[in-house]
Amino acid sequence: MSSLKADFDELCEHIRRGRELGHASFEPVYYLVFPPEQILDVKRQTPAWMAKLHQEGWDIHTFSIVEQIWILLKGDPFWSLWVTEDKSAPLDWPRTNKALADILTTENGLLKRLEQALQPLEGQQNALLLVTDLEALHPFMRIGAMESQLQGKFHVPTIFLYPGVRTGKTRLKFLGFYPEDGNYRSVHVGG
């Protein structure tokens, strides 16, 4: 098993090569895949990785799934109703999860927020988007579905910090227990 440091260094090399190639059909989407039990290690390493990318000349922008989910939940007009309903049956997880998933997917809310984060970066030569906290998508959705819906909109290198297992060149198992998904069109490092 490779180390997080070695995997991140390899990821940086892929990003450098991708920037030099500039193929029109290549979308610069990268996944740093790591075992779910290393989520905390990745969170500890992320500031150092951002500093390294900055030293290499990248203008780093972050998109935290946790922060975006919270913004969508708090902004939903029915949020206070959901909270009240949850208090009446706090252990009804299927109902709670469905309510939360509905808020996140209504009008593609989370997807649109990611697209809105990408739009202003288009045309910025050294811009890079770092997407963190993917584990917060469980049990609502998986990032592969969002990536495929945004195909053609990744104009700057976008790195997803992906807790899961790589089961092939293009196949990933989110959090290590979801069924493997081979619908990714990105570069995977680690896992």
Block mean pLDDT (10 aa), the chain, length 191 = 86 82 67 94 96 96 95 86 82 83 82 95 94 92 84 92 87 81 80 81
User: Could you tell me the sign of the dihedral formed by the alpha carbons of 113, 117, 118, 120, in that order?
Assistant: positive
Whether the model clears a pTM of 0.95, i.e. scores above it, the answer is no
**CA-to-CA distance for 6 and 166, rounded, in angstroms?**
16
**CA-to-CA distance for 160 and 186, rounded, in angstroms?**
10
Task: State the CB neighbour count (10 A cutoff) for residue 122.
Answer: 11
Say what the pLDDT of residue 2 is: 64
Task: State the CB neighbour count (10 A cutoff) for residue 61.
Answer: 17
The tokens describing 35, both together, are 């075992």
Say what the pLDDT of residue 146 is: 85
Q: Give 172's contacts (C-beta < 8 A, 6+ positions apart).
A: 31, 33, 144, 162, 164, 165, 166, 180, 181, 184, 188, 191
Say what the pLDDT of residue 95 is: 83
**CA-to-CA distance for 82 and 100, rounded, in angstroms?**
9
